[in-house]
């Protein structure tokens, strides 16, 4: 009787992954969300140089961009557990080292090298979580149900990213103002050591390894399959989203600074994140006939429309309203991009593809932050608020390119 019930019971992703998986995976993302802002805050406070702080923060993003996909490839090859334990431990040690180096009598170059190493060793929790959950879905769900469940999973993952990236900078600000400028970096080191290790040791980590042949070697498509144009359009799309995040947060900070309240930039930015997370979760209820390609085009157009008002806004209430509209476009666009990338991932390359997209976001965010900061410093906040429009345009252009490739067999 019990055996019959168990065999006919519909699979559940929560049951298959384990209830503890989701809070662990959520908190394990926080070090990544705190990293760029925390390093910037630490270096500016310790060395009293905004230029050095920006350069150090950019080096962190560069390290993640270059090495992140390699960590994903290593996870595809040798499994997530080993890669995450090594990367998480190394990252914690390097973060603590930077907290000491910032106040030590060492050359600025030492900070830049340490920052690059921090970015390079940053555990790719969000991409590997996506890969892990997709692995569970492919093993436990029937083929007819997989697309629906994958879309819902990508919706949850994008909402989780939004939550973390909204509250990460807030936590950095609270720790830096109430304790010490080094506190956010030290806090990120502790979180990485504890929760990334827990994420690595979770039983679900076994699903992050590709199925192997008789000799135990994982089955993998050739690396050249990663360069397929249809897949690269999703990478370009997430790069555009990263450019938008960096340009928007930096120009918003300049906007609030001109009004004497730079510390409130994170709170105003949160208006965008709340709407984005809510709509990202709502994607799971969209009808199947509203295709991923159509969703990308629709919500990228909303993103562009919301940004067009930014250069003409002169009040905090006005820019908050624009951010609420922009948030409607962000969540569903990211979900569509990750869902399409999942569907186009070559065999045995899921973690690599997810880290390619995650690294593209970091590259865009770091590059746009640096460029927007220069524009804001030389021409003011209103000029800087034009840059999010350009970034949103890249997202829409990538969506159009994706629509072209989607029509090809």
Q: What is the pLDDT of residues 285-301, one digit of tens each?
A: 788 788 888 999 999 99
pLDDT in tens, 111-134: 899 999 998 888 888 888 888 888
Q: Is 224-409 the same fold as 19-210?
A: yes
User: 231: closest CA among 356, 362, 329?
Assistant: 356
- Express each pLDDT in 237-269 by its tens digit: 999 998 998 888 878 878 887 877 765 676 777
Q: Following DSSP, what letter does each residue of 253-315 receive, concatenated?
A: HHHHHTTT-GGGHHHHHHHHHHHHHHHHHHGGGS-TTS-HHHHHHHHHHHHHHHHTTGGG--S
Average pLDDT of 12-31?
83
Which of 333, 391, 12, 351 minimizes the C-alpha distance to 161? Answer: 333
- Angstrom CA distances, 318 to 51, 255, 269, stand at 30, 12, 13
Among 34-43, 208-217, 353-362, 388-397, the range scoring the smallest mean pLDDT is 208-217
Tokens in use for 72? 């994903």
Quick one: residue 260, left, alpha or beta (phi over 0 = left, psi -120 to 50 = alpha)?
Answer: left
The mean of the pLDDT values for the chain is 81
Residue tagged 């009040």 (tokens): 315
Positive or negative CA dihedral for 103, 106, 110, 114?
Answer: negative
Mean pLDDT along residues 379-394: 91
Tell me the domain boundaries of the chain: 19-210, 224-409
Q: Give me Rg for the CA atoms of the chain.
A: 21
pLDDT at 399: 93
What pLDDT is stored for residue 219 in this prediction? Answer: 63
Mean pLDDT over 370-381 rounds to 82
Q: Angle at the Cα of 246 (from 70 to 293), degrees rounded to 5?
A: 70
Strands (DSSP E) contained in 339-407 are none
Average pLDDT over residues 25-44: 81
Nearest of 349, 234, 245 to residue 293 by alpha carbon: 234
Mean pLDDT lowest among 43-57, 206-220, 304-318, 341-355: 206-220
- 19-210 CATH fold: Growth Hormone; Chain: A; (1.20.1250)
When mean pLDDT is compared across 181-190, 216-225, 244-253, 304-313, the lowest value belongs to 216-225
Retrieve residue 273's tokens. Answer: 């994140």
Second-level CATH architecture of 224-409: Up-down Bundle (1.20)
């Amino acid at each position: 009787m019990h055996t019959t019930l168990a065999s006919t019971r519909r699979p559940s992703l929560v049951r298959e992954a384990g209830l503890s998986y989701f809070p662990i995976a959520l908190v394990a993302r926080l070090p990544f969300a705190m990293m760029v802002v925390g390093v910037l805050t630490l270096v500016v406070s310790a060395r009293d140089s905004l230029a050095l702080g920006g350069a150090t923060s950019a080096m962190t993003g560069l390290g993640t961009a270059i090495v992140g996909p390699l960590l994903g490839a290593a996870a595809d090859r040798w499994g997530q557990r080993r890669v995450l334990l090594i990367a998480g431990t190394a990252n914690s040690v390097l973060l603590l080292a930077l907290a000491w180096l910032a106040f030590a009598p060492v050359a600025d170059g030492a900070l830049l090298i340490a920052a690059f190493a921090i970015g390079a060793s940053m555990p790719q929790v969000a991409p590997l979580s996506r890969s892990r959950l997709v692995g569970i879905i492919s093993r436990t769900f029937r083929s007819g149900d997989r697309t629906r469940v994958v879309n819902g999973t990508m919706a949850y993952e994008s909402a989780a990213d939004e939550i973390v990236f909204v509250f990460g900078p807030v936590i950095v600000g609270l720790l830096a103002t109430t304790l010490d400028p080094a506190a956010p970096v030290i806090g990120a080191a502790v979180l990485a050591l504890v929760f990334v290790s827990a994420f690595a040791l979770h039983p679900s980590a076994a699903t992050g390894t590709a199925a192997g042949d008789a000799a135990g070697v994982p089955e993998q498509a050739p690396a050249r399959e990663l360069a397929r144009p249809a897949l690269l359009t999703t990478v370009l799309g997430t790069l555009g989203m990263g450019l938008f995040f960096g340009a928007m947060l930096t120009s918003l900070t300049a906007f609030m600074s001109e009004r004497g309240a730079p510390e409130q930039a994170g709170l105003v930015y949160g208006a965008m994140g709340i709407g984005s997370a809510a709509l990202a979760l709502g994607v799971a209820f969209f009808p199947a006939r509203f295709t991923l390609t159509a969703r990308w085009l629709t919500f990228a157009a909303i993103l562009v429309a919301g940004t067009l008002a930014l250069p003409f806004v002169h009040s905090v209430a006005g820019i908050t309203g624009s951010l609420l509209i922009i948030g409607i476009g962000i969540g569903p666009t990211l979900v569509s991009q990750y869902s399409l990338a999942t569907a186009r991932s070559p065999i045995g390359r899921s973690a690599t593809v997810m880290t390619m997209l995650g690294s593209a976001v970091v590259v865009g965010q770091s590059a746009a932050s640096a460029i927007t900061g220069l524009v804001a410093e030389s021409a003011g906040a209103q000029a800087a608020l034009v840059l999010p429009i350009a970034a949103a345009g890249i997202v829409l252009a990538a969506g159009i390119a994706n629509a072209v490739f989607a029509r090809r067999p």
